[in-house]
Structure 1
Amino acid sequence: MSVDATTDQAEQVAAGSALHAGRLITRIENGRADARAVLRSLAPHCGKAQLIGVTGPPGAGKSTLVSALIRELRGRGRTVGVIAVDPSSPFSGGALLGDRDRMVESSSGDSGVFIRSLASRGASGGLAAAVNDAVDVLDAMGKDVVIVETVGVGQGEFDIAEIAHTVVLVFVPGYGDALQAMKAGITEIADVVVVNKSDSPGAEQTFKELAAQGFERTGPEGTPPWPVPVLRTSALRHDGIAELVDAVDEHHRFTGRTAWRTAHEHARRRARFIAFANDRLREELLETAVDERSLTDPYGAAEEFVAELVDAHRRLTAHRAAGAETEQK
């Protein structure tokens, strides 16, 4: 892609073009290298959106809850972008869920809402890298809030904690899923816990058992802990949705007043650097580095290859430092 084409793509996305944003996300999803140049041009337009992650076990009604969140946020005059991690990704092998189809249908015709299902296939950086890039696209579009809904299985639940400012962990009545989540450590990423389908049998008991846990998130040293609220919602009836948005907003304000937000953004930028560097190394170096020794002694060849790269990087860094010192003199 030429420089002019890259600039035009970035300008169209920054102007709020859903068409150009969709095309760019498709290139990100397919691992197209030319998407990086557009993302780089979009960087000055990023950093304003509130990022919300919605995760939890399959069947918790996450997509229905996201639909309800969209309605509530739009009612408050805020524009919304949604990245729904597609179950057709390599993590689950399924197809696009019907409730996500309904999510799209319920928001059709509303220019203040942009919804995109995303599979991480083709993105060598994995789920977090592809979703991070797509989030930046919606952020650059000018969306006030960007919601990321995960499949709810595997590493994606933990990846979302590196992306979202606030993670909403969703359960349904019945303590089994919640107990398994606690055993797996998933509750450690939650900023807000929600018992959805609260009008179902067992909801009150599940709520009481979760609330009794006294979940608390700890942040950077010297910052106060965040007492994780446990809420009840019925997404289909829109019960508790306003309270959920209020809780998410309060968490966002809390992290903004402390070093939490700065630490989160630092961790996200670090993860993005590693993902981009991984992509470039894979393209420029790894393919050409494979030789006969790599096939017969992959461990030794890989160690030697990395050691040579590290040594070259150190020498380059020392050379730049010496040059800067000379200029100062």
Structure 2
Amino acid sequence: MSDEVKGLIDVALKGDKKAIARLITLVENDEETAREVVRRIYPLTGKAYVVGITGPPGSGKSTLLDKLVKLAREEGHKVGVIAVDPTSPFTGGALLGDRLRMQRHSTDPGVFIRSMATRGSLGGLAKATNDAIKVLDASGYDLIFVETVGVGQIEVDIVKTADTVVFVTVPGLGDEVQAIKAGLMEVADIFAINKADREGVEMVYLELKMTLEFERDKWKELGWEPPIVETIAFTLRGVRPLWEAIKRHREHMESSGRLRERRAFRAREEVKTIIASSIARKVEERLASGEAGELIDEVVEGRLDPYSASQIVMEKLKEDLWR
């Protein structure tokens, strides 16, 4: 690690916003630097509570999050926000829509907002999101919100990042039942029906309630049944009850021991992801080599099947890994 990066870490850990922003940019763009940064700051992490906000496009996640940040600040929390935006097809960067919606918090010294691009990541979360969370955690932000990109499907990967998951939906989307079938019940700790002044809110509520009834034994075992909160973020209706539900879930997670279980699950998943990423990079290097190129030619010419070729590459890869 260069002296420049070491100095940047020292300044960021003192809470300097510019240094934090530069450090997140480094871990987002350079995998080797990210590894060194995380090694250095990891002993200082583990204090922040992470809340995931997910749901389909148009559900008002950003407006709702804006109001939740305000309530959190009123209670003295130092708040970090990571808004994972769709990648711009022109620049490869985040579209920054969420940062614009929360502009009024930008001058608050107790709030740090960062938009990150998905860059093709699956599950609606940027690959560097976990590292960015660690930077904010080590820098003293005790409450971190992660808003997923919202791609019209259930982004179950948020459970690998957040301690509490809030799913935001609205009446009239026409995909409530499909969303539930897609695995929503496996990840959501709290449901928010936003824009509750719209027609059809009762139907959405009943659909969620009925699905929760089907899973009653599961929730009874966990000691927590996800509440359904109706909100109108623009007028603040229901926002405080949603904030209180988030706090109650945190208390439940901490008192029941479930928080440690979830974080152990997340740590295991993160290690698996890092291993898979490292292996994928090694495979790419192998496939780019002349030797692997000959194998590909054999596959193209029909002299070798793809499974046999992949097995040969994997055997070579094992030699590289265990040297």
TM over 0.5: yes
Aligned-pair CA distance for 1:196: 0.5
Tell me how far apart the structure 2 counterparts of residues 43 and 284 of structure 1 sit (CA, whole Å): 26
Aligned-pair CA distance for 1:34: 1.6
Is the Cα contact below 8 Å between 2:27 and 2:37 reproduced in 1? no
Is the Cα contact below 8 Å between 1:171 and 1:177 reproduced in 2? no
Q: Does 1:299 align with 2:307?
A: yes
Q: Does 1:250 align with 2:251?
A: no
Say how many residue pairs are matched: 310
1:1-329 map, 5 Å = 1-2=1-2, 4-88=3-87, 96=95, 98=97, 100-103=99-102, 105-121=103-119, 127=125, 129-153=127-151, 157-174=155-172, 176-214=174-212, 224-283=222-281, 286-288=284-286, 290=289, 291-296=292-297, 297=299, 298-307=306-315, 309-310=317-318
Note closer, same or farther for the CA distance 1:277–1:239 as it changes in structure 2 (3 Å cut): same
* Equivalent position SS for 2:198: coil
For 2:35, the aligned partner's letter is R
Matching residue of 1:319:
none
Is the Cα contact below 8 Å between 2:195 and 2:232 reproduced in 1? yes
* Equivalent position SS for 1:33: helix
Tell me how far apart the structure 1 counterparts of residues 15 and 21 of structure 2 sit (CA, whole Å): 11
Is the Cα contact below 8 Å between 1:56 and 1:169 reproduced in 2? yes
Is the Cα contact below 8 Å between 1:65 and 1:235 reproduced in 2? yes
Q: Which runs of 5+ in 2 are unaligned?
A: 300-305
Q: What is the RMSD computed on CA atoms of the aligned residues?
A: 3.2
Q: Which runs of 5+ in 1 are unaligned?
A: 317-329
Is the Cα contact below 8 Å between 1:173 and 1:198 reproduced in 2? yes
Note closer, same or farther for the CA distance 1:121–1:218 as it changes in structure 2 (3 Å cut): farther
Q: TM-score, normalised by structure 2?
A: 0.84
Q: Deviations over 1:157-196 (max 9, x none)?
A: 1111111011100011236232221122223211000100
Matching residue of 1:323:
none
For 1:81, the aligned partner's letter is G
Note closer, same or farther for the CA distance 1:299–1:95 as it changes in structure 2 (3 Å cut): same
* Equivalent position SS for 2:109: coil
Tell me how far apart the structure 2 counterparts of residues 178 and 193 of structure 1 sit (CA, whole Å): 12
